[in-house]
């Protein structure tokens, strides 16, 4: 006897809602130019520009 | 006997071993002037951290040997600013293409520019495209200081104009394509989840529910991600042509509509996952191809290359001069052009005599003597002394201006080449449409509408040219990546296809088949004692290094190859006679070098000691050593080879015979404008050249290859550019192009077989959504495998 | 060329490293506690005496404390330390608010102390990896939201436009864990420290393991991938192998990760297609995980000699390798045939620990060795000690995994061994238990080595901090504010979107999601949908009291309640369990390990006196048993008066109790207890035991699986 899975009626919309939220984030990221240059960020994160302000 | 080499000293900037180091007061040694100045700049603005970043990543910067400290005044010219800068909320920003950027320390240094230059507020480097964007403080507009600083640090900046494709629309285009891919990916993965459940046996309410969910998720794919396919399909149909996107769009739209109908009818056959997958895969392969293409160098605004150096204009009836840009000159002005400067306009010499190298215009390497009243042209190089020129033509009206104008607005009338795949898709589409209608009517007649729709839908989905649409872009981007790894820059994929069908190859002489400058081919000492010979060599070296005549430069280079610790001896009343040679006293011995042009293609240079011949040299514009092998190989593959050059007939004939060209295929003394007329007579022509004068010929030939060493101009006008100084790369590019087309034909064959099998199965009803969902990825993966296998690194130089 | 720096546009700022230091110290303390607990319960399995017959020490209560301590206390604090350290440096800005950071720190430690108190007392919701009771759940959610707000505000005031991939992983972690935690812990409180889960039976199983898997995914993997993408390039001073691949890896993981729960429930009463889907997706997840591993390992290419010498790199390289191994073992285990052998066995424990110790513990150690010298700007006390820790933990881990593989496969094979006459070769369950006792010793030994390693780490860090310079001045940094750097024209429109709107949209999203779930769930899940099988009745009042004892003692940590549709399960335990039987189980108690036999068909299999004597001293019945004694069940009295409240909550959640049953709950419970005690008196049990908890437990155990024990031919399905 097939057991009823009403829970899916919540889990699926929720998973979709969560997924579409990440699509929204993806759109915002692409539009605001996060992925224009994919070569330099991995190198720029290595640099730290301390400033030793010797008062 | 060889003089022992003292202990090697390491340059404290670029780490090269050096023999005769330059010392600075701090006791550091450098290999050249350039490195020393960069080191000092870093010291002054306490940026020594540059060196410990280097150690940490243990890759050294290249030495900055040929550091020409340019002024970049042209950057501040208002007309230039308006064409090259962006104004965002009052901040001016300009991008530069930087040569010499390659390591972490460079990134750190370049992004530290605001601390080195007062009016720069922000500098951002994109190492992939080696492009730096510099933003000035509000209200500032002088970029020359920034460019000068970059140059003095050893990086050579080329400004990128803001209308060029690179900046504006290419970025927007890439972003929108990336967005479409992202959304297609999301929908594809989630649709697979729900249709997967239906395949896994979800029944009843769930099956219908998942159907509608898949429909919902397919909507963004069909109505947003697949737009590029529809646009290019409509474009193709508008001018009555058919390309690969037509069958593609057909499958997507038809598949979507019928699948939606089936979902509403609560049937199990819906193909949303196949549609989403194929859209995603093909968009992705086109994105990869777009990334592989070199959009950064394009052909507009060529003249600006010659109008970069500033020149000096005489202020009306006064004796002093004002610094001005070439495009600000107007006829009747008087201009002073110093040694080693580019002539800024067409005109005639009114004071002084000099030697001018005309290679940029005529391709001829030998510099010619110009006296009073002789005509000079813009873009040529003044090798001799400073002269004053009366301007009669400027900018576009000059001879080179006309030539470049023609090139720029020359609509490339190459035959509109459409890809093999587009040709195939013409028959393919008609066949599929025909088959679909037959199947639809047959089943409509035999069974009912739903059943017939089912079969037609299966047929359309299975026979969609997803594999083919995927294969061509992937093959070309793989080939271009492979080429680039071996030093060959192919700018667009249609060049590859055209290159694979060429029959006739035209070669320019100077700079392509020959070295382009004089090489010492024979020498003879008139004294047997070797210590005497070294002294003579030293004297010759000291005398010739004073003059910048091309022959003198070759001799100096030859001397230093023989013995690399020659010292500059003390010369007394040294004198250079233009065109004749040099003379002077060393330790009260009188020495004279006389150079004579024999007119038979070589030059004699003899060193006389007190009137008596001591050393004689013979120089000629030597044939490159790899020319013979390359030509032999090309002729081995039944290509007809031609030699076309602007040089004197005697020289061209000598080189032509030397390289076994048939006499009737040798054309000499051909001015740049005429070169293209010769090429036009032949079909499937490839032109291999280097100088600016070949740019027009580049346009006429089906495919053009610019050899290494040619000016940035060729880079922009030719299809293929040899990154390394090896002629056999020409052979390699042909091998690559043939292999590319072979792979495409194999893929074509495979996808036709796959379609035949797929169509027959679909017609007989064996294909359902699950089977389609399995064989579609398999076919794409096989195509991918074939392409990757055939374009692996095994395609080395030489083997066909 | 002017050389003085034009600093009027630059902003100087310093990082809030004090908060990171606090979290590092918390990581070390709670790490030691969690590992010690792990070693302790490992020894408890090896020899039952270590349970000391005390309620607070038995395995049932300490195992949930170990899992919660390891996941939330040890790895939780490590994540926060790493996130706060890397985010500030990547975004070139100080944390948005130091206060929120302190609230987050002290709130989180309060939660941990709360758990350390409640779990040993048996106050647990018996949902694996989410055992905390409802007040602590609310506190976790509140503190997590504080962390989220602080994090998103920091992004909003960043000075580096590009958001590095590590930050994206942190964003995904914050958002998804918030959703997961709230949904899985939805429960209706009965009293201050007791609640009943909103979901029941099969649906509770699906939600629990949707949470269970994604807690592993989004708490133990995604943040650590972020940490990997930051700390490995920083430690080796070389850019990540392919930044493009890391972006693809992130988005492909996020778009679909949320769904891979069902592979924990293979061969259960879950519908067939959900199981197949679960298998399919788990295997699909193998690709993005290995994409991450390859990217991590290839970043170290060309510097392998340094990896051999420097302990930090050794830890990180091993961590990534174990990540690859456990994410390969996972999909393998989710293939149905392999799962039928491995499910409920110790092989799963081996897989879990190759992930947690191999990936999380190792990367945390590497990260701490990298951060501590920088935070206290001093040199590491001793590199030799670090190497010793590395070798002791790695060898310990190998002992752990190999022993668990051996034990798991032995269990799997012995359970399913059937001779040619179709009968079980090892009829008596305890035979397998006895066979793998040596493995438990080996595993405990491995765990001890890992614990020793960690103590060395603590000592090493302690000494490093001790001889660090006393006056810790905060390093100054300078960078251009984002507002000063104009974005190119068409990107400008989106800068407005970046500020507070982004933060509020995130919070709004969370609010909508959680709100809709809370409001939707009760109505959807309540009784009118559940398919009733007439034979299945809700638990009686006494049985509910007994079930609460079962839940309190954490019996699910050793016993499962699910007879799988496999021959060996049917032969050993009886009829295959059906979905309808679990309808009133709140929370479901299928369990994930069979250290002891399955109990779903235990009802009426043995007499009351058997259970009475077995719970007092299991060895009296089965000499080789490793089950602890439960003497306190014979002292504690059942609280009858609270049963009415309990039953009314269960009724509100859909159990069909009549009005009369609710009012008379205590009386009816006493009556049922009377019946049981009358039977026991004959066997010499004193009469005064009638209201003791053991009686209630016996009532529950005797009821398990009784309703549908026999094959009922008539198709009885009625939906009220």
Could you tell me what percent of chain B has a pLDDT over 90?
Answer: 4
Contacts of C492 in chain B (CB under 8 A): 88-89
Reply yes or no on whether the pLDDT at C443 is more than 80.
yes
Rg (CA), chain B: 33
| DSSP code at position B334 | E
Q: Are C46 and C444 in contact (CB under 8 A)?
A: yes
Query: Shortest CA distance to C119 belongs to which of C187, C55, C182, C181?
Result: C55
| DSSP code at position A50 | B
| Interface membership of C222 toward A (CB under 8 Å) | no
CB pairs under 8 A between A and C: 131
Q: Dihedral sign, CA of B616, B621, B625, B631?
A: negative
Which two tokens mark B171?
A: 């970025």
What are the two backbone dihedrals, phi and then psi, of residue B704, each rounded to the nearest 5 degrees?
-130, 140
Q: Is C237 in contact with B122 (Cβ distance < 8 A)? A: no
Looking at the partner chain, which of A24, A28, A45 has a beta carbon nearest the beta carbon of C233? A45
Contacts of A26 in chain B (CB under 8 A): 179, 182-183, 186
Closest approach of B87 to chain C, Cα-based (Å):
9
Looking at the partner chain, which of C1, C2, C277 has a beta carbon nearest the beta carbon of B200? C277
For B349-400, the pLDDT digits (tens) are 888 888 787 766 766 666 677 778 888 888 787 877 788 888 888 877 887 7
For B258-304, the pLDDT digits (tens) are 889 888 888 877 889 889 988 998 888 888 887 776 554 555 556 66
| Interface membership of C224 toward A (CB under 8 Å) | no
| Interface membership of B171 toward C (CB under 8 Å) | yes
Identify whether A37 is part of a domain.
Answer: no
Identify whether A54 is part of a domain.
Answer: no
- For chain A, the first-to-last Cα distance in angstroms comes to 79
Q: Are C256 and B194 in contact (CB under 8 A)?
A: no
- What pLDDT is attached to residue B4? 40
Distance CA C566, CA B172 (A): 58
Q: Are B604 and B618 in contact (CB under 8 A)?
A: yes
For C468-486, the pLDDT digits (tens) are 888 777 777 877 777 766 6
Q: Is C9 in contact with B121 (Cβ distance < 8 A)? A: yes
Distance CA C664, CA B160 (A): 87
Closest approach of A55 to chain B, Cα-based (Å):
17
For C545-556, the pLDDT digits (tens) are 999 999 999 999
- Sheet of B334-337: strand order equals B321-324, B311-314, B334-337, B387-393, B346-351, B375-376
Distance CA C637, CA C632 (A): 10
Residue C117's CB: how many other CB atoms inside 10 A? 12
For B112-165, the pLDDT digits (tens) are 888 788 888 888 888 877 788 888 887 777 888 888 888 877 777 777 766 554
* 3-class DSSP assignment, residue B40: helix
Looking at the partner chain, which of A4, A46, A52 has a beta carbon nearest the beta carbon of C531? A4
Which CATH architecture does the domain made up of B75-162 adopt?
2-Layer Sandwich (3.30)
Residue C292's CB: how many other CB atoms inside 10 A? 25
The torsion region of residue B22 among left (phi > 0), alpha (psi -120 to 50) and beta comes to beta
| DSSP code at position C257 | G
Which two tokens mark C397?
A: 């881990």
For C404-426, the pLDDT digits (tens) are 999 999 999 999 999 998 889 99
Distance CA C584, CA C590 (A): 13
Q: Is B117 in contact with C281 (Cβ distance < 8 A)? A: no
CA atoms within 13 A on the CB side of C196: 23
Contacts of B104 in chain C (CB under 8 A): 239
Q: Which domain holds residue A16?
A: 7-31
Closest approach of A3 to chain C, Cα-based (Å):
6
**Helices (runs of H) and strands (runs of E) counted in chain C:** 29, 4
- What pLDDT is attached to residue B5? 42
Distance CA B636, CA B641 (A): 11
Task: Give, in degrees to the nearest 5, the angle at Cα C432 between C45 and C566.
Answer: 115
Distance CA C368, CA B622 (A): 65
Q: Is C238 in contact with B145 (Cβ distance < 8 A)? A: no
What topology is assigned to B303-408 in CATH? Answer: 2.70.150
Residue of C2, C283, C482 to mutate, interface with B, max B Cβ within 10 Å: C2
Residue spans in chain B of domains classed CATH 3.40.50.1000: 488-514+625-738
Reply yes or no on whether the pLDDT at B238 is more than 50.
yes
ipTM of this predicted complex? 0.85
Looking at the partner chain, which of C6, C238, C486 has a beta carbon nearest the beta carbon of B91? C486
Q: Find the mean pLDDT for residues C65-79.
A: 95
**Residue C587, preceding bond cis, omega within 30 degrees?**
yes
Distance CA C429, CA C621 (A): 13
Contacts of B57 in chain A (CB under 8 A): 46
Residue B743's CB: how many other CB atoms inside 10 A? 24
Residue of A9, A20, A21, A37 to mutate, interface with C, max C Cβ within 10 Å: A21
Which two tokens mark C114?
A: 């709360």
Sequence-ordered alpha helix ranges (H) in B416-529: 420-446, 449-462, 466-485, 493-500
Chains that touch B (3 or more CB pairs under 8 A): A, C
CATH superfamily of B488-514+625-738: HAD superfamily/HAD-like (3.40.50.1000)
Interface of B with C in 59-98 (CB under 8 A): 86, 88-89, 91, 93
Collect contacts of C656-659 with beta carbons under 8 A, ≥24 apart: C656/C527, C656/C538, C656/C720, C657/C538
Task: Give, in degrees to the nearest 5, the angle at Cα C472 between C467 and C476.
Answer: 140
Which two tokens mark C411?
A: 């269990």
Looking at the partner chain, which of C6, C251, C488 has a beta carbon nearest the beta carbon of B182? C251
Element (H, E) at B99: strand B91-99
- Sheet of B640-644: strand order equals B488-490, B720-722, B703-706, B685-689, B504-508, B640-644, B666-667
- For chain C, the first-to-last Cα distance in angstroms comes to 87
Q: Is B86 in contact with C488 (Cβ distance < 8 A)? A: yes
For B477-488, the pLDDT digits (tens) are 888 877 877 777
User: CATH: 3.40.50.1370, 3.50.50.60, 1.10.760.10, 3.30.200.20. Which one for C541-703?
Assistant: 1.10.760.10
| Interface membership of C269 toward A (CB under 8 Å) | yes
**Helices (runs of H) and strands (runs of E) counted in chain B:** 26, 32
With CA atoms as reference, the chain A residue closest to C232 would be: A46
Contacts of B202 in chain A (CB under 8 A): none
Identify whether A43 is part of a domain.
Answer: no
Residue spans in chain B of domains classed CATH 2.70.150.10: 303-408
Looking at the partner chain, which of B129, B178, B206 has a beta carbon nearest the beta carbon of A30? B178
Contacts of C490 in chain B (CB under 8 A): 172
Task: Give, in degrees to the nearest 5, the angle at Cα B45 between B42 and B49.
Answer: 55
Looking at the partner chain, which of A3, A7, A52 has a beta carbon nearest the beta carbon of C525? A7
Q: Find the mean pLDDT for residues B639-664.
A: 80
Residue C363's CB: how many other CB atoms inside 10 A? 27
Element (H, E) at B619: strand B612-623
Closest approach of C324 to chain A, Cα-based (Å):
22
Predicted confidence band of residue A12 (pLDDT cuts 50, 70, 90): confident
Q: Is C255 in contact with B186 (Cβ distance < 8 A)? A: yes
CB pairs under 8 A between A and B: 59
| Interface membership of A34 toward C (CB under 8 Å) | yes
Contacts of C5 in chain B (CB under 8 A): 114-115
Q: Is A44 in contact with B107 (Cβ distance < 8 A)? A: yes
Closest approach of A27 to chain C, Cα-based (Å):
11
Chains that touch C (3 or more CB pairs under 8 A): A, B
For B30-86, the pLDDT digits (tens) are 766 666 777 777 777 777 777 777 666 555 555 555 455 567 777 777 777 777 777
Q: Are B361 and B377 in contact (CB under 8 A)?
A: yes
Closest approach of A37 to chain B, Cα-based (Å):
6
Q: B64-93: b or e for each residue (b if 16 or more CB lie within 10 Å)?
A: beebeebebbbbbbeebbeebbbebeebbb
| Interface membership of C277 toward B (CB under 8 Å) | yes
Q: Which residue has the higher pLDDT, C206 or C709?
A: C206
Domain count, chain A: 1
Reply yes or no on whether the pLDDT at C457 is more than 90.
yes
Q: Is A37 in contact with B179 (Cβ distance < 8 A)? A: no
Predicted confidence band of residue B422 (pLDDT cuts 50, 70, 90): confident
Q: Is A31 in contact with C521 (Cβ distance < 8 A)? A: no
Distance CA C48, CA C60 (A): 12
What is the average pLDDT score of chain B?
Answer: 77
What is the average pLDDT score of chain C?
Answer: 87
Reply yes or no on whether the pLDDT at B710 is more than 60.
no
Element (H, E) at B734: helix B728-763
CATH superfamily of C15-472+495-501: Cytochrome c oxidase-like, subunit I domain (1.20.210.10)
Which two tokens mark C37?
A: 């607990």
What are the two backbone dihedrals, phi and then psi, of residue B509, each rounded to the nearest 5 degrees?
-85, -70
Closest approach of C323 to chain A, Cα-based (Å):
22
Query: Shortest CA distance to B798 belongs to which of B722, B731, B737?
Result: B731
Query: Shortest CA distance to B194 belongs to which of C75, A13, C311?
Result: A13
- What pLDDT is attached to residue C198? 83
- What pLDDT is attached to residue B726? 78
For C329-383, the pLDDT digits (tens) are 999 998 989 999 999 999 999 999 999 999 999 999 999 999 999 999 889 999 9
Task: Find the length of chain A.
Answer: 55
Looking at the partner chain, which of A5, A19, A27 has a beta carbon nearest the beta carbon of B190? A19
Distance CA C39, CA C27 (A): 18
Interface of B with C in 198-227 (CB under 8 A): 200-202, 206
Instruction: Show me where the domains of chain C are located.
Output: 15-472+495-501, 541-703
For C497-534, the pLDDT digits (tens) are 555 566 666 666 666 666 666 666 655 555 444 456 77
| Interface membership of B47 toward A (CB under 8 Å) | no
């Amino acid at each position: 006897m097939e057991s009823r899975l009403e829970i899916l009626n919540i889990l699926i919309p929720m998973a979709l809602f969560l997924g579409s939220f990440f699509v929204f984030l993806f759109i915002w990221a692409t539009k605001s130019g996060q992925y224009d240059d994919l070569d330099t960020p991995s190198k720029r994160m290595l640099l730290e520009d301390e400033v030793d302000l010797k008062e | 006997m060889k003089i022992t080499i003292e202990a090697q000293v390491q340059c404290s900037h670029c780490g090269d071993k050096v023999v005769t180091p330059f010392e600075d007061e701090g006791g550091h040694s450098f290999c050249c002037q350039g490195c020393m100045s960069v080191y000092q700049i870093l010291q002054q603005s306490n940026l020594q951290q540059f060196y410990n970043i280097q150690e940490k990543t243990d890759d050294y910067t290249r030495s900055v040997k040929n550091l020409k400290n340019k002024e970049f005044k042209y950057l501040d010219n208002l007309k230039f600013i308006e064409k090259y800068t962006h104004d965002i909320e009052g901040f001016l920003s300009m991008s530069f293409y930087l040569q010499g950027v390659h390591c972490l320390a460079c990134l750190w240094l370049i992004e530290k520019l605001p601390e080195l230059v007062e009016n720069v507020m922000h500098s951002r480097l994109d190492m992939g495209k080696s492009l730096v964007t510099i933003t000035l403080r509000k209200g500032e507009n002088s970029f020359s200081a920034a460019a000068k600083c970059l140059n003095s640090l050893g990086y050579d900046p080329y400004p990128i104009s803001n209308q060029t494709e690179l900046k504006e629309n290419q970025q927007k285009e890439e972003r929108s394509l990336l967005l479409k891919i992202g959304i297609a990916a999301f929908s594809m993965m989630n649709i697979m989840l729900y249709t997967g459940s239906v395949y896994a046996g979800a029944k009843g309410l769930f099956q219908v529910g998942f159907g509608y969910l898949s429909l919902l998720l397919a909507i963004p794919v069909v109505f947003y991600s697949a737009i590029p396919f529809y646009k290019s399909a409509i474009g193709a149909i508008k001018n009555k042509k058919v390309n690969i996107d037509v069958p593609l769009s057909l499958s997507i739209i038809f598949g979507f509509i019928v699948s939606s109908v089936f979902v509403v009818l609560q049937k199990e056959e819906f193909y949303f996952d196949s549609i989403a997958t194929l859209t995603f895969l093909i968009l992705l392969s086109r994105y990869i191809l777009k990334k592989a293409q070199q959009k950064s160098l394009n052909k507009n605004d060529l003249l600006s290359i010659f109008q970069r150096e500033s020149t000096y204009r005489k202020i009306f009836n006064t004796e002093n001069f004002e610094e001005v840009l070439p495009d600000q000159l107007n006829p009747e002005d008087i201009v002073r052009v110093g040694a080693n400067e580019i002539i800024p306009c067409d005109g005639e010499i009114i004071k002084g005599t000099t030697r001018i190298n005309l290679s940029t215009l005529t391709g001829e390497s030998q510099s010619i003597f110009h006296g009073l009243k002789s005509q000079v042209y813009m873009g040529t190089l003044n090798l001799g002394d400073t002269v004053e020129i009366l301007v009669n033509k400027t900018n576009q009206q000059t001879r080179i201006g006309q030539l470049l104008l023609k090139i720029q607005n020359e609509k490339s009338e190459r035959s509109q080449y459409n890809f093999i795949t587009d040709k195939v898709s013409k028959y393919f589409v008609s066949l599929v449409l025909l088959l679909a209608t037959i199947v639809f009517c047959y089943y409509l007649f035999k069974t009912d509408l739903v059943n017939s729709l089912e079969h037609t839908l299966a047929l359309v989905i299975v026979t969609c040219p997803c594999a083919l649409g995927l294969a061509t872009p992937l093959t070309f981007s793989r080939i271009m990546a492979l080429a680039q790894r071996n030093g060959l820059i192919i700018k667009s994929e249609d060049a590859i296809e055209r290159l694979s069908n060429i029959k006739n190859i035209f070669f320019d002489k100077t700079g392509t088949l020959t070295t382009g400058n004089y090489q010492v081919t024979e020498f003879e000492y008139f004294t047997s004692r070797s210590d005497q010979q070294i002294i003579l060599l030293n004297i010759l070296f000291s005398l010739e290094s004073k003059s910048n005549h091309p022959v003198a430069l070759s001799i100096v280079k030859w001397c230093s190859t023989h013995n690399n610790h020659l010292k500059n001896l003390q010369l007394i009343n040294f004198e250079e006679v233009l065109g004749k040679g040099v003379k002077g006293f060393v330790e009260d011995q009188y020495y004279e070098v006389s150079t004579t042009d024999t007119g038979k293609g070589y030059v004699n240079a003899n060193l006389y000691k007190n009137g008596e011949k001591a050393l004689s040299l013979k120089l000629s514009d030597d044939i490159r050593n790899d020319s013979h092998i390359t030509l032999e190989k090309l002729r081995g593959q039944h290509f007809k080879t031609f030699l076309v050059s602007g040089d004197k007939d005697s020289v061209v004939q000598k080189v032509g015979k030397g390289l076994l060209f048939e006499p009737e295929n040798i054309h000499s003394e051909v001015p740049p404008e005429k070169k293209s007329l010769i090429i036009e007579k032949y079909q499937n022509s490839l032109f291999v050249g280097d100088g600016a004068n070949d740019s027009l010929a580049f346009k006429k030939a089906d495919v053009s290859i610019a050899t290494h060493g040619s000016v940035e101009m060729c880079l922009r006008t030719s299809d293929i550019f040899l990154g390394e100084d090896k002629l056999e790369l020409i052979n390699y590019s042909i091998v690559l192009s043939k292999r590319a087309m072979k792979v495409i034909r194999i893929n074509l064959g495979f996808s036709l077989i796959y379609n035949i099998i797929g169509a027959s199965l679909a017609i007989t009803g064996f294909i359902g959504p699950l089977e389609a969902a399995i064989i579609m990825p398999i076919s794409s993966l096989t195509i991918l495998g074939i392409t990757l296998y055939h374009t692996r690194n095994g395609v080395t130089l030489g083997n066909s | 060329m002017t050389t003085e720096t034009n600093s009027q546009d630059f902003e100087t700022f310093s990082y809030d490293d004090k908060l990171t230091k606090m979290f590092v110290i918390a990581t070390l303390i709670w790490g030691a506690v969690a590992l010690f607990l792990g070693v302790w319960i490992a020894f408890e399995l090896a020899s039952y005496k270590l349970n000391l017959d005390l309620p607070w020490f038995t395995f049932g209560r300490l195992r949930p404390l170990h899992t919660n301590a390891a996941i939330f206390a040890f790895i939780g604090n490590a994540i926060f330390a790493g996130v706060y350290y890397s985010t500030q440096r990547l975004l070139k800005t100080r944390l948005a608010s130091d206060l929120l950071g302190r609230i987050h720190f002290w709130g989180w430690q309060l939660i941990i102390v709360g758990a350390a108190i409640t779990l040993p007392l048996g106050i647990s919701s018996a949902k694996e990896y989410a055992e905390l009771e409802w007040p602590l759940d609310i506190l976790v959610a509140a503190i997590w939201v504080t962390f989220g707000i602080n994090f998103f505000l920091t992004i909003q005031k960043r000075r580096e436009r590009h958001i590095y991939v590590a930050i994206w992983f942190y964003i995904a972690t914050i958002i998804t864990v918030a959703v997961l935690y709230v949904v899985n812990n939805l429960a209706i409180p009965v009293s201050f420290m007791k609640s009943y889960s909103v979901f029941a039976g099969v649906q509770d199983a699906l939600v629990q393991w949707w949470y269970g898997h994604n807690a592993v995914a989004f708490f133990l993997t995604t943040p650590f991938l972020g940490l990997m993408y930051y700390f490995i390039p920083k430690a080796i001073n070389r850019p990540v192998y392919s930044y493009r691949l890391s972006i693809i890896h992130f988005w492909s993981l996020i778009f679909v990760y949320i769904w891979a729960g069902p592979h924990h429930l293979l061969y259960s009463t879950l519908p067939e297609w959900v199981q197949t889907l679960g298998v399919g997706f788990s295997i699909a997840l193998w690709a993005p995980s290995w994409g991450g591993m390859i990217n991590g390992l290839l970043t170290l290419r060309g510097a392998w000699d340094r990896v051999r010498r420097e302990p930090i790199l050794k830890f990180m390289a091993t961590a990534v390798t174990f990540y690859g191994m456990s994410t390969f073992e996972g999909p393998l285990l989710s293939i149905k045939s392999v799962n039928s052998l491995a499910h409920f066995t110790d092989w799963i424990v081996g897989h879990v620990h190759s992930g947690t110790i191999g990936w999380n513990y190792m990367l945390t150690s590497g990260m701490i060795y990298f951060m501590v010298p920088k935070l206290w700007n001093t040199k590491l006390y001793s590199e030799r000690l670090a190497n010793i820790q590395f070798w002791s933990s790695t060898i310990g881990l190998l002992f752990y995994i190999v022993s668990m593989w051996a034990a798991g496969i032995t269990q799997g094979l012995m359970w399913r061994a059937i001779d040619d006459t179709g009968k079980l070769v090892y009829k008596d369950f305890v035979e397998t238990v006895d066979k793998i006792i040596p493995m438990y010793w080996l595993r405990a030994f491995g765990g001890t080595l890992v614990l020793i390693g960690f103590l060395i780490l603590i000592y090493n860090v302690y000494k490093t901090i001790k001889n660090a310079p006393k006056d810790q001045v905060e390093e100054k940094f300078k960078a251009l504010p984002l507002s000063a750097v104009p974005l190119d024209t068409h990107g400008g429109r989106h800068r407005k979107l970046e500020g507070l709107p982004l933060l509020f949209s995130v919070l709004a999203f969370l609010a909508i999601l959680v709100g809709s779930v809370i409001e939707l769930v009760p109505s959807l899940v309540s009784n009118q949908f559940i398919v009733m099988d007439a034979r299945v009745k809700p638990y009686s009042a006494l049985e509910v009291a007994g079930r609460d004892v079962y839940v309190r003692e954490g019996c699910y940590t050793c016993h499962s309640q699910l007879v799988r549709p496999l021959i060996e399960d049917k032969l050993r335990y009886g009829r295959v369990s059906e979905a309808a039987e679990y309808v009133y189980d709140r929370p479901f108690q299928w369990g994930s390990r069979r250290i002891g036999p399955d109990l779903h068909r235990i009802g009426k299999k043995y007499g009351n006196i058997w259970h009475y004597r077995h719970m007092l001293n299991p060895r009296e019945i089965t000499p080789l048993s490793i089950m602890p004694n439960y003497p306190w069940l014979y002292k504690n009295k059942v609280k009858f008066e609270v049963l009415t409240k309990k039953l009314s909550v269960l009724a509100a959640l859909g159990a069909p109790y009549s009005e009369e049953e609710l009012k008379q709950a205590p009386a009816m419970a006493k009556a049922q207890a009377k019946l049981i005690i009358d039977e026991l008196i004959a066997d010499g049990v004193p009469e005064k035991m009638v209201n003791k908890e053991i009686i209630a437990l016996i009532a529950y155990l005797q009821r398990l699986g009784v309703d549908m024990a026999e094959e009922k031919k008539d198709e009885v399905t009625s939906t009220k």
